[in-house]
Structure 1
Amino acid sequence: ELLEGGGGSGLGVLPALSQVKKDLEDISRFDDALQNAQKMVEEAYISLQEASYELRDYGESVEFSPARLDQLQSRMDVIYRLCKKYGATLDDVLAHQEKVERELSEIENYDEDIAALEKEIAALEKELGKKAAALTELRRAAAKDLSSAIEEQLFALGMPKAQLAIRVEPAADYGPRGRDEVAMFFSANPGEAEKPLQRVASGGELSRIALAIKTVASSRDSSVPSMVFDEIDTGIGGRTAQMVAERIALVAQYKQVLCITHLPQIACMADAHLYISKRTEEGTTATQIRPLSERERISEIARMASGADMTTASLDNAREMVSHAKMKKDAFRREASS
């Protein structure tokens, strides 16, 4: 409007420039000093006229609707309120919308989802029951085999009448390891009913049962490279101590064995003898461990067998015990290799 002069502001730019152009043409008839200015005005007029045409065409192409403007402004207000309530950005608002729609869908399909889940649970419970039953059968077969093998070792440990049974019973519910409760039942003498091991076995019997289990496990389980026997000779002596010593030597054919003992029958079976002693200096107690030479070992075994007063006979007896132990270990070594 300012260019064409169609507004209410008076003369437009183009009509005014046209008047300037006409006046310059009149002046040029009397004085040609303003020819350059006249040329610039003519070029400016032509450029502004082209601009006016483009602006007019553009204005005619624009669709202006007050109703549409109100609609867009209302929409922007809604978006602003949503961003203020549900997130800093429009992406946050859209993410909240997806979450709400998902929750709504879950609510609307609640019954169908519950039915599908119950069906899936039933199928899984059926499969779980099959696998648990198969696991139970495997355990019962292994328990029977293991019970028999442990009883054989108990016989070798001087308990010929002992009975040990590993029982696999159904548990009240499933657990991480199936639906079984495993317990050991033991009877030391004929005519006695088998009862839970922890209730009826004495300290000496528990020691020998533990040794029997380790003896069986040593040849079957390669996952544990070492075994420790801490005073397993508690409550035993004589022939039983000799049997325990032989079982430990048998275990040593499959595992590294560390054994703390006070019995010469067990000590003489060792491949290496470490002597543990304590001493107190200036109110502080220190423990010392040192390996014994063969001569020191014989002396220590003799001391363990006869007390502090060692004699030639006790030393000879210690040498005989070590020699007999070596023959036993050689026999066990051949048995293990075969």
Structure 2
Amino acid sequence: MLRTLEIRDMLIIDRLELEFQPGLNVLTGETGAGKSILLDSLGFVLGWRGRAELVRSGAEQGEVIAVFELPKDHAAHKVLIEAGFDDADELILRRVNAKDGRKTGWVNDRRVSGEMLRALSDTLVELHGQHDDRGLLDPKGHRALLDDFAGHEGLLSDTRAAWSGMSAARKAVNAAETAYSEARAEEDFLRHAVAELDKLAPEPGEDAELDARRRMMQGAERIRDDIARAAQAMGLDGAEGAMGDALRWLEGASDAAEGRLDDPLSALARAMAELDEAGRGVAEVLDALDFDPHELEATEERLFALRGLARKHAVAPDDLAGLAETLRGRLDALDQGAGRLSELTADLRTREAIFQKAAKALSESRAKAAKRLDTAVCEELAPLKMERAVFSTELSTAAAGPDGVDQVAFTVATNPGAPAGPIGKIASGGELSRFLLALKVCLAEQSNAGLTMIFDEIDRGVGGATAAAVGRRLAALAEGGQVLVVTHSPQVAALGAHHWRVEKRVAEAQTTSTVIPLDASAREGEIARMLSGDTVTDEARAAARALLAG
């Protein structure tokens, strides 16, 4: 509910603060008094696009502050939370328009964009009038309005869930088809590459092992002869034999030498032991260097094969084993792809059937609701002196989407036999106002929760009993909520729960507009003025009292 509206230095408003109330709030005044400026100012703080020049002449900036009360289940809470605001039961909107045209907005003292203000305004205020293109005249919103009237949230939820499931299944099929198509395009390559890799059977680390073995065998041919000659020089025909002879000769002479050969004999024994150990080591090396010449050839062939295949696939030799697994997996996916694609396609067909069933049930419910809405609107049109007019909710087929397969449009025919057309193009100004009011009354229970509804001269072009019927319906809409009405009709004004008069004053060559709350006596005078004009007669006052008495 809009609680207060404070306006400073906007157009011809110097300073103004209004405190609105629940129920039907009526604003009256002579033409040009400034009623439209109030709506322009409210639209400005709500982020609506309107007049370019709003700052009062001579002022540096204009400012509007609007305070709203938010019940717990109000839709604005969700907008605030999604934007990162702390939730609150009071919403303070403030917007400033500088003289140079710059506009700055705040929500609860936090700076925001005009887009954020407009997002909130959709949950706070609903404007209706002869030039209403934001609400009931916008065909884009007719389907949602019909769904609210129908009250089939369950069917709508089922359809959206079915659409989501079908969309996910279709995405999976498309992805599988793409993967399968790509795999088929490289099938020959995959099969050849996997066969080639399987035949070679590369192992991680094999390249380094083969390279070391090859280098050892290549070096063995160069050093084996030298090592063999050394082994021969160290053996019985060489050093070992000579040292053995020397040891025997010295041992035979040691007794006669009276101990003087003991140290040489010990040294020679140690040398024989070291020579023996050296001989065994050389023999082991010779055994290691003893290889089949064909082994070198086989080692080189495998090493070259590994490196050649690695270059072919642009990977390191040690990565060939992993590449084989990857390609084998792609080949397995190809072999299983047809079956997988068939499964996904079958799932998609099932989900399409589920969506079609849900959409059909939703369409049938919409068709029934459309008939109920048409009947309800036509019943409302009769008291508004439009009993010959026809309102129709037209359903046509639209592209499938989360909300089904229906397109909804509200059409009217103002006279029997006349062609029907869009409500905003067929009806005249006064007829349009009454069509909108009748439609809003029928939709009110479902679509105005927490909204402040504003009707801008929606009673224009009607009077007498018809104006009274308009007023009664506005009062009914205001029960349990809040409605603001800008009106020139005394019948409508008399039904208001709260009444303000908009006045224009000229002082010191300065024109300003102000708004005055009216008590019971002042209301009688204002309604009498609306009935008789500038000169208020006793008869007009009596008529005003009669209207106020109901």
Query: Structure 1 length normalisation: TM-score?
Result: 0.64
| Counterpart secondary structure, 2:473 | helix
| Pick aligned residue for 1:164 from 373, 387, 391 | 391
CA deviation after TM superposition for structure 1 residue 257, in Å: 2.1
Does 2:441 match 1:215? Answer: yes
**How far apart are 1:219 and its partner, in Å?**
1.8
Match of 2:230, as an amino acid?
A: L
What is the match of residue 381 of structure 2? Answer: 154
Structure 1 residue 7, shift from structure 2 partner? 3.0
Deviation string 1:16-60 (CA, Å, 9 cap, x unpaired) is 996998799879964749979986x67866765675676577667
CA contact (8 A) 1:24 1:34 kept: no
Considering fraction of residues, name the structure with more helix: 1
The residue aligned with 1:71 is: 302
Contact 2:501–2:518 at 8 Å: present in 1 too?
no
Call closer, same or farther: CA 1:34–1:124 in 2, change over 3 Å: same
| Larger deviation, residues 53-62 vs 304-313 | 53-62
Q: Decide which moves more: 263-272 or 303-312.
A: 303-312
Distance 1:47 1:277 in 2: 126
Using CA pairs below 8 Å that are at least 6 residues apart, which structure has the higher relative contact order? 2
Contact 1:158 1:240 in 2 (8 A): yes
The range that moved more, 246-255 or 155-164, is 155-164
Q: Is the contact made by 2:471 and 2:491 (CA closer than 8 Å) also made in structure 1?
A: yes
CA distance in 2, matches of 1:167, 1:38: 122
Match in the other structure for 1:81: 312
Query: For residues 283-336 of structure 1, what are the alpha-carbon distances to aligned partners after superposition, in whole Å with 9 as ceiling and x for unaligned?
Result: x99x97756253696265555444455567756755654453xxxxxxxxxxxx
Q: Aligned-pair distance for 1:145?
A: 1.0
Q: How does 1:81-160 map to 2 (within 5 A)?
A: 81-83=312-314, 97=327, 101=331, 127-160=354-387
Q: 1:55 to 1:217 in 2, by over 3 A?
A: farther
Choose the corresponding residue for 1:294, options 510, 519, 534: 519
Name the CA distance, whole Å, in 2 between partners of 1:150 and 1:21.
132
Q: CA deviation at 1:79?
A: 1.0
Name which one, 1 or 2, has greater alpha-carbon Rg.
1
After superposition, give the CA deviation of every residue in 1:130-157 in whole Å (9 maximum; x if it has no partner): 4443233211211111111111211232
Do 2:500 and 2:518's aligned partners in 1 also have CA atoms closer than 8 Å? no
C-alpha offsets along residues 91-146 of structure 1, whole Å, 9 cap, x if unaligned?
Answer: 99669847974896699x5xx89988887776666555444432332112111111
Contact 1:24–1:38 (CA<8 Å) still a contact in 2? no
**Shift of residue 253, structure 1, vs aligned partner:** 1.4
- Cα distance change of structure 1 residues 156 and 91 upon mapping to structure 2, 3 Å threshold: farther
Compare 234-243 and 140-149 and name the one that shifted more: 234-243
C-alpha contact (below 8 Å) 2:490/2:531 kept by paired residues: yes
Query: Does the residue aligned with 2:226 lie in a helix, a strand or coil?
Result: coil
In structure 2, what residue type is equivalent to 1:209?
F
Q: Does 1:7 align with 2:245?
A: no
TM-score, structure 2 normalization: 0.43
- The CA deviation string for residues 155-197 of structure 1, in whole angstroms up to 9 with x for no partner, is 232323333232435x3765554444434443444x4356224
- Shift in Å, 1:232: 1.4
* Distance (whole Å) between structure 2 residues aligned to residue 297 and residue 241 of structure 1: 21
Q: What SS does the corresponding residue of 1:7 show, helix, strand or coil?
A: helix
Partner residue of 1:196? Answer: 421
Runs of 5+ consecutive residues of structure 1 not aligned to the other structure: 325-338
Q: 1:187 to 1:14 in 2, by over 3 A?
A: same
Cα distance in 2 for residues equivalent to 1:130 and 1:95: 45
73-82 vs 271-280, greater mean Cα deviation: 271-280
CA distance in 2, matches of 1:33, 1:317: 155
- Residue-pair matches, total: 310
What is the match of residue 333 of structure 1?
none
SS in 2 for 1:192: coil
RMSD over aligned Cα, in angstroms? Answer: 5.3
Paired-residue identity, %: 28
Instruction: Please identify which structure carries the higher strand content.
Output: 2
Instruction: Report the counterpart of residue 262 of structure 1 in structure 2.
Output: 488
